[in-house]
């Protein structure tokens, strides 16, 4: 009797799901352990870039963060070497292992940045490198026969080193921070912060935060990236609180050191001057422990994910739109 049109049922939204109680143990809670095992086998990849003028302790900081000698720290140029005219991009890869977890770490150094007398456009090679990594990944994603696991060379975090003038950000800092924060996660740090007393440090940070807000520079961690509609759990609240805490702390005032000094009978990493001893593990001396925890212990996975979800997608959208427009204009 019902001879209506048979409209094809296209499911636009997921059917509503109800919470159902289980009557017995099923065992799918072991999925986290299965994932972990798989991930452990695969290993993780982290790509970090360090940007800053020479002599700010970038290489030392990287070595300190990962407690291993990854980069050379002496001045690489001799007096007779010609001065670098452009910012070079040097990437070194290491595999470090801790408790069975393998991390493939790539550090990209940018020697020559901000070192010349005329530093106009010294940031171009950096921007180009970051975009190139996105482009490579996109190309690999778009090819018909793509690899099962695309090697991820995208830059997950950029550590930007601010010189400890104690006054305010320099024009070059503002320009580069703005350009970088548009395309990747930027974490600014105050380099060699043992040259600032506590009051100077507080005033400097306040000023930097004001300037960042004034110029509209958005830094990692971002607000509410994941707006999936599941209920706010305790864990989410804790995460939000942690993010807020980190936002208050940024930029981290750090000191780096590969050498050990003896404090209270223990050997800790620190710097010994003629008149005092800086213990970098001490939170009252500098904010290195906070930076290390932030980078490796709490937000490592989030950094990688945010790069994929936010920055890569932005790049991809722009590229595909541009591609579409160019093919349309060609076909006319």
Partner 1 sequence: MENPVVDQGIIKRQLKGFVGFSNLPRQVHNKSIKKGFQFTVMVVGESGLGKSTLINTLFNTSIFPNKEVKELTTETPKTVDIQTITADIEENGVKLKLTIIDTPGFGDYVNNENSWQPILENIEARFDAYLEQENRVNRKRLIDTRVHACIYFIPPTGHCLRPIDIEFMSRLHHRVNLIPVIAKSDILSDEEIKDFKARILEDIAYHNIQIYQPPIYDNDDAETIQENKEIILSMPFCVVGSDKPFKVGNKNVRGRKYPWGIIEVDNPDHCDFVKLRQMLIRTHMEELKEYTNEVLYEKYRSQKLISSEVADSSDALNPLSQLDEERKKHELKMKKMEAEMKAVFDQKVHEKETKLKQSEDDLLTKYKEMKEKLELDRINLQERRRQAERGGRPGTPEKKGRKFFK
CB neighbours of 260 closer than 8 A, spacing ≥ 6? 267, 268, 269, 270
- Check residue 194 for interaction with partner 1 (CB under 8 A): yes
How many of the chain's residues bind partner 1 (CB under 8 A)? 48
Q: With respect to partner 1, which residue has the nearer C-beta, 57 or 221?
A: 57
* Least gap, CB of 105 to partner 1 (angstroms): 25
- Residues of this chain, 208-227, that bind partner 1 according to CB under 8 A: 210-211, 214-215
Q: Are strands 252-253 and 186-190 parallel, antiparallel or unpaired?
A: parallel
Q: Is 60 exposed, middle or buried (0-12, 13-18, 19+ CB in 10 A)?
A: buried
What are the Cα distances from residue 245, in Å, to 120, 192, 225? Answer: 35, 22, 17
Local structure of residue 205 (DSSP, 8 states): H
Q: With respect to partner 1, which residue has the nearer C-beta, 46 or 280?
A: 280
Q: Is 46 helix (H, G, I), strand (E, B) or coil?
A: strand
- Check residue 266 for interaction with partner 1 (CB under 8 A): no
Q: Are strands 277-279 and 266-272 parallel, antiparallel or unpaired?
A: antiparallel
* Least gap, CB of 170 to partner 1 (angstroms): 6
CA-wise closest residue to 77 among 54, 61, 98 = 54
Question: d(Cα 89, Cα 303) in Å, to the nearest integer?
Answer: 21
- Check residue 131 for interaction with partner 1 (CB under 8 A): no
Residue span binding partner 1 (CB under 8 A) among the ranges 114-122, 244-252, 291-299, 322-330: 114-122
What are the Cα distances from residue 43, in Å, to 37, 47, 239, 301? Answer: 10, 13, 25, 12
- Check residue 289 for interaction with partner 1 (CB under 8 A): no
Q: With respect to partner 1, which residue has the nearer C-beta, 169 or 186?
A: 169
- Residues of this chain, 165-184, that bind partner 1 according to CB under 8 A: 165-168, 170-172, 175
When binding is defined by CB under 8 A, the residue of 68, 93, 197, 314 that contacts partner 1 is: 197
Residues that bind partner 1 (CB under 8 A): 53-56, 74-75, 77, 79-80, 83, 115-120, 163-168, 170-172, 175, 192, 194-195, 197-198, 207, 210-211, 214-215, 271-279, 282, 284-285
């Amino acid at each position: 009797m019902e001879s209506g049109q048979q409209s094809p049922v296209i499911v636009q939204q997921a059917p509503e799901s109800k919470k159902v109680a289980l009557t017995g143990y099923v065992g799918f809670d072991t999925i986290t352990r299965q994932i972990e095992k798989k991930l452990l086998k695969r290993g993780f990849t982290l790509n970090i870039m360090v940007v800053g003028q020479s002599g700010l302790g970038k290489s030392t900081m990287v070595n300190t963060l990962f407690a291993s000698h990854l980069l050379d720290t002496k001045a690489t140029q001799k007096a007779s070497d010609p001065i670098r005219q452009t910012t070079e991009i040097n990437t070194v890869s290491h595999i470090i292992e801790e408790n069975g977890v393998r991390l493939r770490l790539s550090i990209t150094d940018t020697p020559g940045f901000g070192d010349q007398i005329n530093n106009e456009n010294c940031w171009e090679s950096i921007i180009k490198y970051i975009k190139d990594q996105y482009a490579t990944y996109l190309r690999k994603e778009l090819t018909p026969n793509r690899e099962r696991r695309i090697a991820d060379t995208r830059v997950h975090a950029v550590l930007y080193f601010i010189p400890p003038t104690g006054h305010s950000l320099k024009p070059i800092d503002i320009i580069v921070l703005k350009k970088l924060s548009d395309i990747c996660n930027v974490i600014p740090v105050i380099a060699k912060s043992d040259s600032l007393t506590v009051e100077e440090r507080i005033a400097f940070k306040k000023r930097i935060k004001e300037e960042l807000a004034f110029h509209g520079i958005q830094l990692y961690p971002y607000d509410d990236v994941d707006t999936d509609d599941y209920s706010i759990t305790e864990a989410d609240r804790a995460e939000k609180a942690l993010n807020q805490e980190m936002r208050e702390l940024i930029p981290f005032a750090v000191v780096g050191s590969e050498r050990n000094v003896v404090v209270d009978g223990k050997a800790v990493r620190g710097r010994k001057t003629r008149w005092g001893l800086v213990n970098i593990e001490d939170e009252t001396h500098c904010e290195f422990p906070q930076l290390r925890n932030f980078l490796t212990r709490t937000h490592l996975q989030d950094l990688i994910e945010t790069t994929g979800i936010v920055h890569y997608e932005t790049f991809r959208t722009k590229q595909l739109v541009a591609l579409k427009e160019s093919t349309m204009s060609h076909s006319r």
